[in-house]
Amino acid sequence: MNWQRLLICKILQDKELRRVKVQYRLTPNTLSDPLAIRIFSEIDAHYRKYGEVPSVELIKDKFPDFDYQEVGDSLDVVCDKVQSELMRREVANLFSRYEHLLQNDPRKFVKLCKNQVERIHQVFNTRSFEDKTLEELYNPVMEDYWQSKHSQGLVGIPYPWSSLNQATGGLEPEQFVLIYANSAMMKTWILVYCCYFWAQAGQKCLFITREMSKEQISRRLLSFVAGVDYRKLRTGTLNEEEEKKLIEANEKVKEIGQNIIISEAVDEDREFTLDVIRMKLEEVCPTILLLDGMHLLRIKGSRDRDWTNFMTISQDMKQIAKEFRLSVIATSQANRRGSAASRSADDIAFTYDFFRDTDVVLRLLYSRDRHMIAVLIKKSREGEEGAFVIEAKPGISMQEDKTFPIVEVDDWVKQIAREAEKLRVPSSNGIEEGKEEEDIDIDVW
């Protein structure tokens, strides 16, 4: 009996989609049957668009191979059967994947299995609520307060920049942080520098790259370790003193190198999905996941990579942070429309879909002429919005530049955008005379 397809029948029969997703944590990404995945995705998309489960006739029309039938069992029974089936599959895959370790390294086998069985338990734990009284929660809250006071407001792992720490309180476990910008705006450089900074602090970082090779990422990391200009390192034009620093960096690489695992997604025949990332997390067990190119992810069973799928991807990234109890920081391309005059429903959907499940959102704006990156804190769930400036000197300095004033962020952005467009110097009020504000394209960098 195919319980996954019976679940689809039951959802259509009872019109109960939200309960299946929220209470039982069953989504298209958790299923394994290809047809059930496609139909569940269609039901979910229809629900998000129209606010209701589609009719049986509509689904049968779109999926003629689907054999719909009335289900006598309750929704609870069907969901429980599906979860049990998926749990058996997960555990079987787990033992199959690590069976070779049982002979070679049984301790590692036990450790991996223990961690992953706990993860499977967390994923399929269907308790809707976990209750505690205020009296029970008082001590943990006070502990957080005193820790925050003694660490000058930090409640998580420090970022490399004090302004970001002040605005967010640091990078906390189970947080999902998104960095977005147009192409060639130093997104990967920011991610690489964070990885280097956190590895020095003893954090185990998994850096997954899709757009660049692992050799390119490692070269960028090495430029920071050695403290040499990246462009000279890449072109082989370091002077004698810089080459000496590069050689001496070997000792520091030995010290922090084990804290950085660079994983390149290279198999074009295999879909770049969240399931692939989960498998890598199970293998590595990092404390921080750094994902370069979140916009390249696909939804399991889907060949599309349109904006409407990004809501699911964003939800899954947050779920991964919770499942594995780690911090996730990812980069993504900004929308492809820049000027205010060209704003459309697609742009609004892009912003909403990506931002709704994030804890912190950072927008990057890069000025090549000034060698500066403006970091706009567009969202901080537990903190404040704001902006600060970073020196953009790869390998030499990615430090915060507090000498550059940002009084009015919008005016500052518009001013630098004009420089990028090779326009004449703006007037003192931040808007060029004779030019309408809506013509200013702040996404051109």
Does residue 5 or residue 110 have the better pLDDT? 5
User: Residue 375: which H helix or E strand, with range?
Assistant: strand 372-380
- The whole-model pTM stands at 0.63
Question: Whole-angstrom Cα distance, residue 126 to residue 80?
Answer: 9
Q: Evaluate the CA torsion angle 188, 194, 195, 197 in order and state its sign.
A: positive
- What radius of gyration, in Å, describes the C-alpha atoms of the chain? 25
**Per mean pLDDT, which of 15-29, 236-250, 313-327, 411-425 is the most reliable?**
236-250
Span 177-185, average pLDDT: 88
Q: Which two tokens stand for residue 195?
A: 């990885």
Question: Whole-angstrom Cα distance, residue 353 to residue 330?
Answer: 15
Q: How far is CA 166 from CA 148, 159, 319, 388, 415, in A?
A: 11, 10, 26, 11, 26
Residue with tokens 């299946």: 20
DSSP states along 306-366 = -GGGHHHHHHHHHHHHHHTT-EEEEEEE--S--SGGG--HHHHHHHHHHHTT-SEEEEEEE
Question: Whole-angstrom Cα distance, residue 253 to residue 302?
Answer: 40
Question: Whole-angstrom Cα distance, residue 168 to residue 158?
Answer: 10
pLDDT at 346 over 50: no
Does residue 223 or residue 94 have the better pLDDT? 223
Q: Which two tokens stand for residue 298?
A: 């696909």
pLDDT in tens, 98-140: 777 777 888 877 877 777 776 666 666 655 455 677 877 777 7
Q: Identify the pLDDT of residue 150.
A: 61
pLDDT at 288 over 90: yes
Q: Evaluate the CA torsion angle 184, 186, 191, 192 in order and state its sign.
A: positive
User: Residue 367: which H helix or E strand, with range?
Assistant: strand 360-367
